[in-house]
Each structure stands twice: as structure tokens, then as C-alpha cells.
Structure 1
Amino acid sequence: MDFTPLSRFIDRITAWRIPWAELLVMHRNETVFRYRAGFADLEAKTPIEEDPMIYLYSLTKILTCTAALQLVEKGTILLGDPLSAYLPEFAEMEVRKKQMDDSFATELAERPITVRDLFTMTAGFSYDLAAPSIREAVERTNGRLPTREFAMALAKEPLLFEPGTRWNYSLCHDVLAALAEEVDGRRFSAYVRAEITGPLGMRDTGFDLSEAQRSRLVPQYQYDDALGKTVPMDGDWYRIGTEFESGGAGLLSTVSDYSRFPNTLTNRGTSPEGVRILSAASVDLMRCDHLTELTRSDYNWAHHAGYGFGLGVRTHISQAGSGSLSPLGEFGWSGAAGSFAIMDLESQLTVMYAQHLVNNQEPYVHPRLKNIVYACLK
């Protein structure tokens, strides 16, 4: 295996507009390639060092869906259950519907939101963290907004469509975290630490940072097209409450630490050390394509062509459609600042890529990165 093309690609994108990038490739549980380039702090010209702390953003979603699948395995919940059986505030949801005069009115939903709808992004939610009910809940809780309170607030907002009829990237997995809290009884962070990150030895992954970890949190950037350069962007705009543990975007971690988790899924739910967090059957259910005739046309991101959507992950269903060198069944997800995970059971391959640029150039970087990885393996 010659990974020279990968290091050249990382050098090219960090000389372009991405401040820094790091890539870890694991094959059959062994790290076969690791490379980083660029500056952690552009202003100070500080080189990127080992194990910087980063915002994972939506890479959180894979872990949240894993936590919820553990509850399915325990018989605590079923995918087909109505969400209101556990979170009663979702019992009678209103749906926005267009009227004959092009105005909008709300009507009672004809079908309940199911647990499956949360996994598959078909509940009818938006991704509006500034919705009136959420803003009111932030104020009412004096800026704390616990995860369970967040779900209660979101339930007051009308749905965008009838549950199960469309796919829309949304706050579904944040509600999934609230569901886990309700049925398990622990805060979501406590559940994740006890059932996933703790058993896997992931000491640098969590919703809050220690002082030592905070000193390793690298600056975040955005590329300003008007200025033609990369500029700093402070803060985590998904952390809308001090006690809000976002199941959709709340985790922070490092490449070394987080890679333990996707590699465990690559091993069908059991880590190389023998720690099982999911059954092989659950991993297969996660990476199964759950799109339907009603929802497939909505999942239309150009760089996900040839992919279906599973339980919180993209899943490769057509090489002709994707133009990807990865085999069918390869799955994973990405984060808003550009982090990216690949899990491939057939090739026994795990890839963890990290960067910290919020307008992340994902449609350019991720498909190319994936193809170069697979070309280097052959």
C-alpha cells in the first residue's frame, strides 16, 4: 500500500483554503496511514499537533443512533413505536400545510411520529435552533435548556410535513437523545459515557471539556469568499444551552479517540479488545437503506449520489450512481466543520478525517478523499 497520493492531497487542500487537516486510516485494526498538515492557528502559524480537540458536530449522530440502537437491543424501545409512547408532548402534532391561496395553516398530523422517523430523518422537524418555542425555553431555563426541555419545546413547533412522507435533515437525533434520557433515566452524557465511550476507552470524547482538554481545543475557521481568505469563527453555535447535550451535534473529541468508535462498528459492533457495544445484526440494520419511494427523492445531496440513508448514516447502494471506489455497504457520516468517517466491513477499513472549517468544502474534499484511500489500498 502506497499512501503518497493521500499525503499529497492533504498538502494540496491545506495549501488551498482549509487551515489544517488530519487523516487516520485503519485496515484490519492496524493504523496503516496517518498524516496531518497545516496550521492549528493561522494567525500564529502554529503547526497542527497530535490530538487537537475539535467539534465533531454531526459525527455525533452516529454515536447517538448507536446509543438508541442499544435500547432497541434491550427491548426498551422499538423502531415502530409511536414517539409519544415515551415523550407524550409529541402525541398531537400540528403540520404546516399550504392552502389554496398559497398561505399556510396548521392541521393535526394524520400519522404519529415513530421512533424510526427519528433515526431516519423523516419526523417532519426542521433544523431551526432559533424557533420561537426553543428561544422561549432557553429564556425560561435561564440559558440551561436541558436536553429533555429542548424536546418539549420542539414539540410546540409545527411539523414541515406529515411524518414518514419526506426526508429532511433536521433535529431528529437531538430528540433521539432526549428519548434515550427519558427511557433510561440518566442524562444522555452519562449514558454515553457508561455504555459507549467508557467501555471503549474514549477518554477525550464528551459534551464538555476539562480545563486540560480546553487548552487543546483548536481554533475554528470559515472561508470568507469576499475577502478571499480564511478567518476565525469562534464558538459552537449548536450549544444553545449549558445543559443541552445535542445528540445531533454536541460531541467534541480527537482523531485518535473518536476513531475507536467507528472502528468498532467496522468490526460489527465489537472492538478489537473484545468490548461489544452493538450486535452485528444491529450494525447491519444501521447500514441498511431505509429510504422509501416517498422519501428517496429528498435525499438528493450531489456528493451523496449513489448512497441511501440508514439509521443515521449514509450507506453505499450504487457504485454506478456514486462513482465511488468503495464497495457497496460502506457507510458513515460527516460533521459541519468537515470531519468525516468511513466504515467498511467488507474491506475491514476505518477512516477518520478531521478539519475545522465550517463552510467545509465537503462536496469537493470527501468524495476525492474516499477514492484516493481506496486506490491506495489496491
Structure 2
Amino acid sequence: MNFAPLSRFIDQITAWRIPWAEVHVMHRNETVFRYRAGYADLEAKTAIEEDKLIYLYSLTKIVTCTAALQLVEKGTILLGDPISAYLPEFSEMTVRKEQSDGGVTTELAERPITVRDLLAMTAGFSYDFAAPSLREAITSTNGLLPTREFARALAKEPLLFEPGTRWNYSFCHDVLAALVEAVDGRRFSTYIREEITGPLGMRDTGFFLTDEQHSRLVPQYIFNDELGKADRFDGDWYRLGTELESGGGGLLSTVSDYSLFLNALTNCGTSPEGVRILSAASVELMRTNHLTELTRSDYNWEHHAGYGYGLGVRTHISKASSGSLSPLGEFGWSGAAGSYAIIDPESQLTVMYAQHLINNQEPYVHPRLRNIVYSCLS
């Protein structure tokens, strides 16, 4: 293996507009390459170091879906269950209907939202952080907005479409976190710590930071095209309430910690130390393409060409369409600040890539990074 092309690529993008970047490559449970470049703090010219904490944002989603699949394994939920059986506030949902005169009305939904809809992003929710019911709930809870209260508020908003009929990237996994709480009885963060991060030895992954961990949180940036430089963009813009444990984007972690989780999925649900977080059957279900004839056209992000959508993850289904050097079945996801996960049981490959830039250049960076990694393995 020769990873010189990968280090050159990291050097290239950090010299371009990304303040810092780090990549961790594991093959057959061993770290075969790790490289970082750039400045954690541009103003102070502080080089990026190991064990710095970052906002995972949507990489949280894979953890949340793992938690839900654990409940499926325990027999406490089924994918076909209506979520109203556990979250009664979703019993009578309304759906937006556009009229021929350009107006909009709402009607009662004909289909229930199922657990599968939450996992597969087909529930009909939006990603509107300014939705009136959410804003009202933030005020009524004095800014706390606990996870269950978030779900109750979202249930008041009309759906964009009938559940199961379209795909839309949305608050689905935030509601899934509330469902895990309702079914299991533990607070979502407690469930994640006791069933996933704790057993895997992920000591730096959670929804809230200690003072010591906060000292290791790296600044976040947004690139200013007019000035041609990156500006500070601190704070978690995703967290609507101080007690909201967002299943869609609330976790913080380090490259080392999150790699432990990803590598367990690469090993079909079991860590090299023998800690099982999912069965191989559940991992296979997670990375199965769940798009249908109704939903396939909605999953149309250009840099995900050749990929389907599983239970919270992209999954490689067509080399001809993707142009990717990864094998079919390679899966993973990414986060709003640009971090990116590759999980590949066939190649026994795990990749965690991290950066902390909000306008993240994902369509440019991720497909190139993936192809370079696989070319270096040969």
C-alpha cells in the first residue's frame, strides 16, 4: 500500500480552502494510514492535533439508526410498526396539498408513518428549523426542548407528502431518537452511552461536553468567497434546545472514537475485541437499498450517483453510475461540516475523514477521497 497520493490530496485541499483535514484508514482492524494537515485555529496558526473534538452533525444518524436496529433485534419494535404506537402524537397527521389555484390546504394523511419511514427518510418531514411549532416549543420549554418535546412539536407540522411515497432528507432521525427513548425508557443519550459508545470504549463521544472535552473542541469555520478566506463560525447551529439530544446531528466525537464505531460496522456489527453492537443480519439490512420506484427519483444528489439509500446510510449499488472504485455494498454517510465515513465489510476497510467547515465542498472532496483511498490499497 502506498498512501502518498492520499497525503498529497489532503495537503491540496487544506492549501485550497479547507482549514484542516484528517483521514484515518483502517484495513483488517489495523490502522494502515493516518494523516492530518492544516490549522485547527487559523488565527493562531495552531496545527491540528490528535484527539480534537468536532461536531459530527449528520454522522450522528448512523449511530441513531444502529440504536433503532438494536431494538428491532430485541423484538421490541418492527420496521412496519406505526410510530404512533410508541409516539401517540403522530396518530393523526396532516399532509400539505397544493391546489390548482396555487393555494395550499391540509388533509388527514391516508398512511401512517412507520418505523421504516423514519429510518429510510420517507416519513414526509421537512428540515425546517424555523417551523412555527418548533419555535413555539423552544419558547414554551424555556429553550430546553428535550428530545420528546421536539417530537411532540414536530407532530403538529403538516407533512410534505404521504408517508412512504417519497424520499426527503429531514428530521426523521431526530424523531427516531424520541422513539428509542419512548420504547426503551432511558434518555436517548443514556441509551447510546450504555449500549453503543460505552461498550466500544468511545470515551469522547456524546451530546454534551465536559470542561476538559470542551477545551479540545476545535473552532468551526465557514469560507467567505468574497474575501477568499475562512471565517470563524462557532457554535452548534443544529441544536434547537439545550436538552435536545438530536438523533440527526447532535453528537460530538473525535476521529479515533468514531473510527471505533465505524470499524465495528465494517466487522458486521462486532468490534475486534468482541463487543457486538449489531448482528451481521442487521448490518446487511442497514446497507440494503431501501429506495422504491416511488422514492428513487428523490434521492438525486449528484455526488451520490450510483448509490441507493439504506437505513440511514448511502449504499453503493452501481459502479457504472457512480464511477467509484469501491465495491458494491460499500456504505456510510457524512456530516454538515464535511466529515465522511466509509464502511466496507467486503474490503475490510474503514475510513474516517474529518474537517470542520460548514460550506464543506462535499461534492468535490468526498468522491475524490474515496477513489484515492481505494487506489492506494492496490
With structure 2 as the length reference, what TM-score do the two structures score? 1.00
1:192 counterpart residue number? 192
1:156 counterpart residue number? 156
Residue by residue over 1:228-255, the C-alpha shift from the partner in whole angstroms, topping out at 9 and shown as x without a partner, is 1111101001111111000000000000
Counterparts of residues 309-348 of structure 1 (less than 5 Å): 309-348=309-348
2:226 counterpart residue number? 226
Counterparts of residues 45-84 of structure 1 (less than 5 Å): 45-84=45-84
Residue by residue over 1:75-100, the C-alpha shift from the partner in whole angstroms, topping out at 9 and shown as x without a partner, is 11000001111101101100000112
Query: Could you tell me which amino acid in structure 2 is paired with residue 188 of structure 1?
Result: F
Query: Could you tell me which amino acid in structure 2 is paired with residue 319 of structure 1?
Result: K
1:299 counterpart residue number? 299
- The reply to whether residue 213 of structure 1 matches residue 220 of structure 2 is no
CA distance in 2, matches of 1:22, 1:51: 11
CA distance in 1, matches of 2:242, 2:55: 16
CA distance in 1, matches of 2:42, 2:49: 13
CA distance in 1, matches of 2:129, 2:151: 11
SS at match of 1:259: helix
Q: Which runs of 4+ in 1 moved over 4 A?
A: none
With structure 1 as the length reference, what TM-score do the two structures score? 1.00
1:260 counterpart residue number? 260
Query: Could you tell me which amino acid in structure 2 is paired with residue 278 of structure 1?
Result: L
SS at match of 1:34: strand
Residue by residue over 1:141-168, the C-alpha shift from the partner in whole angstroms, topping out at 9 and shown as x without a partner, is 1111000000000000000011001000
CA distance in 2, matches of 1:254, 1:201: 12
CA distance in 2, matches of 1:124, 1:76: 24
2:3 counterpart residue number? 3
Report deviation, 1:336: 0.1
Counterparts of residues 122-133 of structure 1 (less than 5 Å): 122-133=122-133
Report deviation, 1:271: 0.2
CA distance in 1, matches of 2:130, 2:190: 27
1:203 counterpart residue number? 203
CA distance in 2, matches of 1:261, 1:114: 27
1:183 counterpart residue number? 183
Structure 1: state its 5+ residue gaps.
none
SS at match of 2:325: coil
SS at match of 2:35: strand
CA distance in 1, matches of 2:88, 2:240: 23
CA distance in 2, matches of 1:50, 1:235: 21
CA distance in 1, matches of 2:352, 2:210: 23
Query: Could you tell me which amino acid in structure 1 is paired with residue 189 of structure 2?
Result: S
Report deviation, 1:129: 1.6
Report deviation, 1:185: 0.5
Report deviation, 1:124: 0.3
Report deviation, 1:34: 0.1
SS at match of 2:240: coil
Report deviation, 1:225: 1.2
Query: What number of residue pairs does the alignment pair up?
Result: 378
Aligned-pair RMSD on alpha carbons? 0.4
SS at match of 1:284: helix
Structure 2: state its 5+ residue gaps.
none
CA distance in 2, matches of 1:203, 1:228: 37
Query: Could you tell me which amino acid in structure 2 is paired with residue 298 of structure 1?
Result: D
2:277 counterpart residue number? 277
Report deviation, 1:296: 0.2
Q: Percent identity?
A: 82
Query: Could you tell me which amino acid in structure 2 is paired with residue 40 of structure 1?
Result: A
Query: Could you tell me which amino acid in structure 1 is paired with residue 348 of structure 2?
Result: Q
CA distance in 2, matches of 1:190, 1:63: 13
CA distance in 1, matches of 2:240, 2:100: 37
Counterparts of residues 76-95 of structure 1 (less than 5 Å): 76-95=76-95
Counterparts of residues 37-52 of structure 1 (less than 5 Å): 37-52=37-52
CA distance in 2, matches of 1:24, 1:125: 34
Report deviation, 1:372: 0.2
CA distance in 1, matches of 2:235, 2:328: 37
1:29 counterpart residue number? 29
Residue by residue over 1:246-304, the C-alpha shift from the partner in whole angstroms, topping out at 9 and shown as x without a partner, is 00000000000110001000000000000000000000000000000000000000000
- The reply to whether residue 142 of structure 1 matches residue 156 of structure 2 is no
